[in-house]
Amino acid sequence: MVQCFLIHTVNPVSTLAPGESRVLYSRVFGPEEGALTGADSELGPEQKRLLRNEKVAVVARQVHSAVTQSREASGRVLVETVLGEELVALQEADSGVQRLGSGEPWAGERSALWLGVQSLAFTLVTEPHENLLLAEGTLKNITRHCLEHLRMLGTGSEVLLKSDRIDVLLHRLLPHGQLLFLNHRFTQSLEKELANYMAQ
């Protein structure tokens, strides 16, 4: 099962300290009570929300660090992509998998798969026993739809204003946090359905 999906910044943002990342969108799947331990389970709704946001921020910082290291090691210079070249940006995206140990930030171990596309990172956190190839394919599919239909790489693109469309994408491609094996025919019908919805 997928624990969470998030979109966050990986390039410096003027209002953030160096090495910090701003979470633009996050979605946590599954019962949150299972993720709380001991004293945390007695927190009120607002404290639980803050704890969940902090856990997502920890993942964003760790992925930000991994993306930065990957880009520095590769030595490639990032070239800004113009509108309409989203698939090129996706093909040139940095990607990786990072193991999140027990307690950083969830009680058990997790795997974080990430794609660094220009100034954004798309991250999927899964349980350690999940099929990583299937999770990677799902992450690339979600990222492709976000880039193509929501124009997230364009200037002035407000991810926060498009959260309802991202929710629909996740509902179709990652229902209740479950990774799906998709055959060709089902994928085509899903693509049509999503394209019709996004065109509205």
112-136 pLDDT, tens per residue? 999 988 888 999 999 989 999 999 9
Bridge partners of residue 26, in order along the sequence = 6
Q: What is the pLDDT of residues 132-183, one digit of tens each?
A: 999 999 999 898 888 887 776 665 556 666 788 888 889 888 999 999 888 8
- The verdict on whether omega for the bond into residue 12 sits within 30 degrees of 0, i.e. cis, is no
Can you give the CATH number for the domain in which 88 is found?
Answer: 3.30.450.60
The total of structural domains in the chain comes to 1
Task: Walk across the sheet containing 110-117 and list its strands.
Answer: 23-28, 2-9, 120-126, 110-117, 94-100
- Other beta carbons within 10 angstroms of residue 3's beta carbon come to 23
Residue span of the structural domain in which 48 resides: 2-199
pTM score, two decimals?
0.83
